Structure 1
Amino acid sequence: MAIENLQFRKAAEADINSIWKIIQQAIERRKLDGSSQWQDGYPNPETIRQDIENAHGYVLSAGENIIAYCAVLFNNEPAYDHIKGEWLTNGDFLVVHRVAVSGEVAGQGIATGLFKLVEDHAVANNIFSIKVDTNFDNVPMLKILEKLGYTYCGEVYFRGSARKAFEKVLKPG
């Protein structure tokens, strides 16, 4: 599926059911992969609702069908203030959370394409750093981050658990 034919846009309240279905599929894939990520009731429909209310939720759609979801936050992740390690930069940054791809298109490079669109979105908003974290056992996400040139910076902690933290410095325009 060519990423050029997809639309990256802010999620709307009308998208919640489609997004939640995709999140549930991703939760099940993490479980089948043997990952502990997302196996504790998070994320949930309220998380998605809050993302949308706070203008953090974004979807990737092919025509009318939503095929991926993520939360995008500007300069807003308190857990990142306490990294065991060191970020590459200390200026403005964009955070990517809750990346999930529909089971119908999983394994087709959609998450990689989603990250590229998020990077384009950051540059368009004059933000040249993307920070992201993932579970130590989320192998698909770790492979995507490696492929896209994200640098491992250390560990951050969410809900009492250590997570691998990465950053990528982007080039202007």
Structure 2
Amino acid sequence: MNKLITLFVCILLSGCASNSQTLTSAWLKRDVKVRLPAVTLSHDINKQQLLTAKVGNKTGSLITLLEVKDGRVVLMGLSTMGIRLFEATYDGQTIQVEKYITLLDLPPANQVLADIMLSYWPVKAWQHLLPNDWQLLDKGNKRLLIDDNQQIISEITYKQSSGEREPITIKNNYFNYFISIQDMEE
């Protein structure tokens, strides 16, 4: 079970190799970076979610606490047993990461924040930050991130819940991972 948790955290965390990060960008592809948008939403977000990731034939789960409020994003990761693993805070300028348990070979925390922000932030907040000829499109219950070669890089699926659109899956075709998101408050 610990190997599965470690694998999942490796997929989702970004920048946890040190306690403090000053990054504000994330990788869309190996040689394509994007700056994260400002923390300006018309509403606050406060979520407790179970994330299950699949990479190849391996699956792992992680509990996340997400709060978007007062111009900042706070993402806390817990093991499924409730052990605090990390906390990442983004204020629109810098990403600060505190890790509580050392795990090796973790991707940066800004990648996790990018997936979250791609899911929740409006398309218009992203469009001017994307590279030339890249698109972020909403089509029904899906959001597609399309590169300059018209390849779908990320596909986010939503459901309607209490009149709001909630992300339930994130599929990254380029980095080859799939994340399902279950709201623990339902």
Fold agreement, TM-score > 0.5: no
Answer 1 or 2: which has greater helix percent. 1
Answer 1 or 2: which has greater strand percent. 2
What TM-score results when the alignment is normalised by the length of structure 1? 0.27
